Structure 1
Amino acid sequence: MSLTSLPVLAGGINDPFGTEAMAPLKPSPQLSARVGEAPCATALPASALTAVDAVDLALCNHPQTREVWAAARAQAALVGVAKAGWLPNLDASASTTRFQYENNAYTRNAAALTLSWLLVDFGQRSANVENAQQLLNAAAATQDATVQSLFLAALQSYYSAQATQAAVISANEAERSARESYQAANARYEVGVATPADRLQAQTALSQATLNRIRAEGDARNALGALANALGFAAQQRIVLADLPAAPAEAVFQKEVDALIAEAQARRPDLKAAEAQLKAAEASIDLARAQGRPTISLGAGPSWQDSAGVITQGGSVGLTLNVPIFSGFDTTYRVRSAAAQADVRAAQRDRIRNQIALDVWKAYQSLTTATQSLKTTADLVASAEQSERVALGRYKAGVGTVLDLLVAQSALASARLQRIQAQLDWNVYRATLAQSMGALDYTLLQAAAEGRP
């Protein structure tokens, strides 16, 4: 390696190889759709909590994000360790010795400055740097995969909390309808045009609706507690959620599954991490082989000695050739072990590639089902509302039965809950498909806020 190829010490004495710039950004609001040096959020916003706010808080406060970021920075520093092997070493030594011979005594002082530089190692340092660099790439990709997993978990908690709150609203509507039916049945009973059975059936339906509302409120409180915990707060922390966004009018996905799988295999960070791990293992094979090859080193430096008042100065310069002849088959087994590790990494990469295809297939099919369910449940709610209005009007007019009315109201309550579940499924599976493709970031939330699929 020539002097002109040595790294420029542009990063300062504390980081001459610029390893801090090699490390990925800290997981924070600085994901692909966010720019600037925005600080991590540590408190709930003053306004209603949006999905973007929830993700920011989860990524900033979750210990796992700090763990993977620290691991990436540690590996970046190891790249600097590997690159340091290209530079010379400069050592200083000094000694003082007191000699006593019968009645004679004198002191010897010595000092030396030694420069040592490994000039030729037949690929050992290059393989070491390549290994460290690929491990850094793997650490950065692992951080991306972890961030996307936490991103998805935060969204799932947030959407679940929104869905439970929507279920409370639906339960209140069902209770209101049941109370109206009871009042109508009671009024008809009091004027003698309805039987006691009608009033009792309406009373039973009202009590059941009230019980459903109480349970829905309990589920909503539990979901908010789980969301608070996911964001790094105590479960009792009061959280006000933004309104559930309306589903887009046309939630259509035109890409073929094969194209989605190919795109996922090009983008998934866990596959990139596996590829980098394989390349690092292959570099380890080269490193193991190079460790059994000769090396040529340069040594030079001045020396000084004061012995009983006699001062001598000198210096030396020379080349040292080190040729390993026999090391007890150490190199042979190191190469064999490194090759086996490379086979392990290759198998892991292939397994992850197959898993990606399955992840995308399942997420796509789930999202397709949820998309179809959105339209169907919208029609279901509309028809159930119309049926409930007709049944109530007929019963008040005396031409319908209370059983017809209660069945219509039960069908409407069920349709509303299925609509809420369909919206929850669509939001979650949409995020799941993005995560399975390695494309889960803030652009997904911006599209949802704008009502785009």
Structure 2
Amino acid sequence: MRVHHSLPSCVGAAVLALAVAGCASNAENMTSASPDQPWTPRGDEQTLLWSLAREEQPAATGGVADFRIPADSARARLTTAEGMDPARVYNLPELIDLAQRVNPATHTAWQQARQAALAVGMVEATYLPVLSASVIGGYQELVTPFPTLLDESFSFETTERGSAQILALQWLLFDFGQREALAAAAKHSAIAANILFNGTHQRLIFEVSQAYYIYGAAIQRRGFAETALQNAVAVQSAVEARAAQGLATSVETAQARQAVAQAELRRVQAEGEERDAYQNLLAAVGVNTDLQVDAVSAARRPLPAPATASLDASIQQALSQRPDVAASYAAMQASKAGVKAAQANYLPKIYAGGNLSTGTGNFDVNGLPTIGQQGSGTGLLVGVSVPLYDAGLRAAQVRQAESQAEMAVDAFRQVQTAAVTEIVAARNALRTALESHHAATALVAAAATTYDAAFAAYRNGVGTVDAVTAADTLLLDARQAQAEAHAAALIGAVNLAFAVGSLTSREPLP
């Protein structure tokens, strides 16, 4: 028999309460003191990230609230794509190939497709039994106090120890088609995810091609702006030569200088647009480092042929093979299978179960011999579960599944309508671009003739600076319109192929 001097239990409770209060107080330090004050890390010095953030937080200046966040160099690390060659000059098919390998969009779509496939496997796994093993062990000490004797407290101590090993089997044998419906829904969802994966590649081909042609057109516009600047400088030289002979006025000289300044401004703007187009191309590919791109060849690419298939044929082709239409159709089929799965909740389920268990234990009374025991058992059960009443839960689940199925049907119709609209718009855009290029080509020829004639007339003393400057500006506008129409035609052809669902190659145009 042992003697125990016990402390009041309220002391332990007080310590626990103080610890909890300290945690709550520390948690309050993780946010701003008021809505109009910036958040500044404070407290929780045991956390390394928190401590670093507190050290790097800039102090407020002049009493003005500073809402900057702590800097963290880990967030500034850019990932370099593998397989890039800085010395290589990439053409459009090579850019598309690089984008399909390194762009995060394709990786994300692939992971989503894998997750959908794993979901199918998880549903199919429910057809097989579940086997689980458990080991339970425990220790318990019980102190029984006796009446106080001679101002001393006495108690009687007992100890119990035990363990149990259990092997259990659970197997759903029959559920009247619920798992079959769930598996069908998961398979349709997996099909939709894989279709969208292919669709992601198609969209990536379109976006890279579009950015590539826009970049090529920007290079052309910069070249035209440089040519216009050279023309303006040549006009200025002619004006200054005539002014040296007393044949040009100060107004003409000022106009020539103004034309040079205007041409220089347009050249600078064209260079800025070229840099923006280049950066947009890198973003479309999905890289953060510079690439050498052969976009000049885009200007030499022949114009695409106009759409030859009828509008109805294009629509039928699109509705039968566009990824978004196919994925929406698969989602609609999955929702229909979801209705069957919800309806199966009304039906009984037949299951089997079994267990194999062993256990040991002992009882120890202080001062007496230990008493031990061991036992084992096995069991096999077959049962039927019949749902009788659930306060309308199953009915609500069925109505919810039916509502989702109706929404999926409406969504599928919306996708079909959007596809038709996009096809019509793409065909019209291609036609407009081809016609614009034809008109711009004739305009360039006429504007070039006008400029040459105006410049020659001025040099011979029968023309004006205003006429030469205006002709130079019109020639630049005509050349830029021609380049933009050429790029728009190439983009329009790729866009039409994308809208129809046939943009499946790394070489989008022949």
Which of 468, 475, 491 is equivalent to 1:412? 475
**Where does 1:243-322 land on structure 2 (aligned, <5 Å)?**
243-245=296-298, 246-248=300-302, 251-300=305-354, 316-322=379-385
Q: Which residue of the partner structure matches residue 381 of structure 1? A: 444
Counterpart Cα distance in 1 of 2:135 and 2:447:
94
Counterpart Cα distance in 1 of 2:265 and 2:391:
79
Quick one: structure 1 residues 332 and 183, their matched pair in 2 at CA, closer, same or farther if it must change by over 3 Å?
same
Please list the CA deviations of residues 336-393 of structure 1 after superposition, one character each: whole Å capped at 9, or x if unmatched.
Answer: 1110111111111111111111111111111110011122222222232233233333
Partner letter of residue 74 of structure 1? Q
SS class of match (1:291):
helix
Give the structure with higher Rg (CA).
Answer: 2
Counterpart Cα distance in 1 of 2:161 and 2:240:
118
- Whether contact under 8 Å (2:451, 2:468) holds in the other structure is yes
Counterpart Cα distance in 2 of 1:402 and 1:312:
113
Partner letter of residue 130 of structure 2? N
1:75 aligns with 2:116: yes
Q: TM-score normalized by structure 1?
A: 0.78
SS class of match (2:501):
coil
Please list the CA deviations of residues 4-53 of structure 1 after superposition, one character each: whole Å capped at 9, or x if unmatched.
Answer: xxxxxxxxxxxxxxxxxxxxxxxxxxxxxxxxxxxx75535423232334
Task: Single out whichever of 302-311 and 380-389 deviates more from structure 2.
Answer: 302-311
Partner letter of residue 500 of structure 2? M
SS class of match (1:244):
helix
Quick one: structure 1 residues 41 and 386, their matched pair in 2 at CA, closer, same or farther if it must change by over 3 Å?
farther
Shift of 1:398: 4.0
Which of 191, 201, 222 is equivalent to 2:276? 222
Quick one: structure 1 residues 244 and 377, their matched pair in 2 at CA, closer, same or farther if it must change by over 3 Å?
farther
Q: Which residue of the partner structure matches residue 352 of structure 1? A: 415
Task: Single out whichever of 382-391 and 69-78 deviates more from structure 2.
Answer: 382-391
Quick one: structure 1 residues 209 and 112, their matched pair in 2 at CA, closer, same or farther if it must change by over 3 Å?
closer
Counterpart Cα distance in 2 of 1:149 and 1:137:
18
Please list the CA deviations of residues 271-305 of structure 1 after superposition, one character each: whole Å capped at 9, or x if unmatched.
Answer: 22211221111111111111221122234566667
Counterpart Cα distance in 2 of 1:72 and 1:408:
58
Counterpart Cα distance in 2 of 1:110 and 1:233:
58
Partner letter of residue 243 of structure 1? V
**Where does 1:70-149 land on structure 2 (aligned, <5 Å)?**
70-93=111-134, 113-149=167-203
Partner letter of residue 499 of structure 2? S
Listed as ranges, the gaps of 5+ residues in structure 2 are 1-80, 142-158, 362-370
Counterpart Cα distance in 2 of 1:98 and 1:153:
67
Counterpart Cα distance in 1 of 2:279 and 2:373:
83
Partner letter of residue 126 of structure 2? G
Please list the CA deviations of residues 233-286 of structure 1 after superposition, one character each: whole Å capped at 9, or x if unmatched.
Answer: 558x47554323224256322112222122111122122221122111111111
Counterpart Cα distance in 1 of 2:246 and 2:232:
21
Q: Which residue of the partner structure matches residue 212 of structure 1? A: 266
Q: Which residue of the partner structure matches residue 504 of structure 2? A: 441
Superposition RMSD in Å: 3.5
Counterpart Cα distance in 2 of 1:435 and 1:61:
21
1:371 aligns with 2:434: yes
Which of 25, 39, 43 is equivalent to 2:84? 43
Counterpart Cα distance in 2 of 1:129 and 1:280:
9
Counterpart Cα distance in 2 of 1:192 and 1:148:
66
Counterpart Cα distance in 1 of 2:459 and 2:256:
13
Quick one: structure 1 residues 41 and 95, their matched pair in 2 at CA, closer, same or farther if it must change by over 3 Å?
closer
**Where does 1:390-429 land on structure 2 (aligned, <5 Å)?**
390-429=453-492
- Whether contact under 8 Å (1:431, 1:444) holds in the other structure is no
SS class of match (2:308):
coil
Q: Which residue of the partner structure matches residue 19 of structure 1? A: none
Counterpart Cα distance in 1 of 2:502 and 2:235:
50
Shift of 1:174: 0.9
Q: Which residue of the partner structure matches residue 28 of structure 1? A: none
Counterpart Cα distance in 2 of 1:422 and 1:314:
85
Please list the CA deviations of residues 131-158 of structure 1 after superposition, one character each: whole Å capped at 9, or x if unmatched.
Answer: 1111112222333344444443333333
Partner letter of residue 81 of structure 1? M
Please list the CA deviations of residues 30-81 of structure 1 after superposition, one character each: whole Å capped at 9, or x if unmatched.
Answer: xxxxxxxxxx755354232323344344444444433333222222211111
Task: Single out whichever of 366-375 and 398-407 deviates more from structure 2.
Answer: 398-407
Q: Which residue of the partner structure matches residue 176 of structure 1? A: 230
Counterpart Cα distance in 1 of 2:339 and 2:223:
63
Q: Which residue of the partner structure matches residue 295 of structure 2? A: 242
Task: Single out whichever of 118-127 and 133-142 deviates more from structure 2.
Answer: 133-142
Counterpart Cα distance in 2 of 1:220 and 1:97:
74
Quick one: structure 1 residues 416 and 316, their matched pair in 2 at CA, closer, same or farther if it must change by over 3 Å?
same
Counterpart Cα distance in 2 of 1:148 and 1:238:
22
Task: Single out whichever of 179-188 and 88-97 deviates more from structure 2.
Answer: 88-97
Task: Single out whichever of 305-314 and 48-57 deviates more from structure 2.
Answer: 305-314
Partner letter of residue 364 of structure 1? R
Quick one: structure 1 residues 310 and 238, their matched pair in 2 at CA, closer, same or farther if it must change by over 3 Å?
closer
Quick one: structure 1 residues 92 and 226, their matched pair in 2 at CA, closer, same or farther if it must change by over 3 Å?
closer
Quick one: structure 1 residues 108 and 396, their matched pair in 2 at CA, closer, same or farther if it must change by over 3 Å?
closer
- Whether contact under 8 Å (1:145, 1:269) holds in the other structure is yes
1:185 aligns with 2:239: yes
Quick one: structure 1 residues 110 and 410, their matched pair in 2 at CA, closer, same or farther if it must change by over 3 Å?
closer
Partner letter of residue 443 of structure 2? L
Q: Which residue of the partner structure matches residue 107 of structure 2? A: 66
Q: Which residue of the partner structure matches residue 96 of structure 2? A: 55
Counterpart Cα distance in 1 of 2:138 and 2:471:
105
Partner letter of residue 288 of structure 1? A
SS class of match (1:442):
coil
The total of aligned residue pairs comes to 407
Quick one: structure 1 residues 84 and 305, their matched pair in 2 at CA, closer, same or farther if it must change by over 3 Å?
same
Partner letter of residue 48 of structure 1? V
Partner letter of residue 121 of structure 1? D
